[in-house]
Chain A
Amino acid sequence: DAGVIQSPRHEVTEMGQEVTLRCKPISGHNSLFWYRQTMMRGLELLIYFNNNVPIDDSGMPEDRFSAKMPNASFSTLKIQPSEPRDSAVYFCASSFQEGGNQPQHFGDGTRLSIL
């Protein structure tokens, strides 16, 4: 079975550019999560969706960040304009939420470098 698929795996761009990260969750999962991982802050939850609806975006650092989930099989995280401090590994995860004992399945991440 295919796992969570993220693209691109690596992205290097100059500050001020728009960056779009993509995620395809596992088929049948109804929740999707976006995380950011850095050495300084560890793993941070940015936003999550349940049945394609954003539930909690309190972790989104600022208005430059936005996320969408137009359907059950696709989500995007966009940064516009990008800044060097946005450099991190961004993970997408999905799960089937029922009772809280179902684990999240992570993609391999997008390593983002903003120059």
Chain B
Amino acid sequence: GNSVTQMEGPVTLSEEAFLTINCTYTATGYPSLFWYVQYPGEGLQLLLKATKADDKGSNKGFEATYRKETTSFHLEKGSVQVSDSAVYFCALAAYSGAGSYQLTFGKGTKLSVIP
């Protein structure tokens, strides 16, 4: 079956530090990959996506590259801000039959950025 493994949190960084959150996946076929972010008290929001190998998704200074050879989709940001404090979820979308695609999520990584 499909699965997503992301690094355990919580992660605490100082403002302007470099961020990496590791994500690896197991899937049949060629899934699309996503990073979602969840701020306190809110639902998940799409942060970025990549739909095929070697694609790079980017948004708000965050980047992730779809690496088929290592089945990875690590999230990076060069300089984090306090406002980036949230929970980050890695996810893949795979075909689940009847014309539908289902997301498989990782367990989430909580990031806290301190001034």
Checking A42, A100, A106 against B107 with a beta-carbon cut-off of 8 angstroms, the contacting residue is A42
Question: Size class of B's contact patch?
Answer: 20 to 34
* B58-115 residues at the A interface, CB under 8 angstroms: 89, 93-103, 105, 107-108
Q: Contacts A42-B107, A42-B108, A43-B89; is A100 near B101 (CB within 8 Å)?
A: yes
Q: Contacts A56-B96, A103-B49; is A97 near B44 (CB within 8 Å)?
A: no
* B17-69 residues at the A interface, CB under 8 angstroms: 31-32, 34, 36, 41-46, 49, 51
| Cα separation A104 to B26 with both chains bound (whole Å) | 20
Q: In the complex, which residues of chain B have a beta carbon less than 8 angstroms from the beta carbon of A93?
A: 43-44
Q: Contacts A43-B89, A91-B44, A108-B43; is A55 near B96 (CB within 8 Å)?
A: yes
| Cα separation A93 to B28 with both chains bound (whole Å) | 24
Q: Contacts A48-B102, A106-B43, A106-B44; is A100 near B97 (CB within 8 Å)?
A: no
B interface residue numbers (CB < 8 A to A): 31-32, 34, 36, 41-46, 49, 51, 89, 93-103, 105, 107-108
11 more contacts with CB within 8 A, not counting A42-B107, A100-B95, are A43-B105, A93-B43, A93-B44, A97-B99, A97-B101, A99-B101, A101-B93, A105-B46, A106-B43, A108-B41, A108-B43
A interface residue numbers (CB < 8 A to B): 4, 31, 33, 42-43, 45, 48, 50-51, 53, 55-56, 91, 93, 95, 97, 99-109
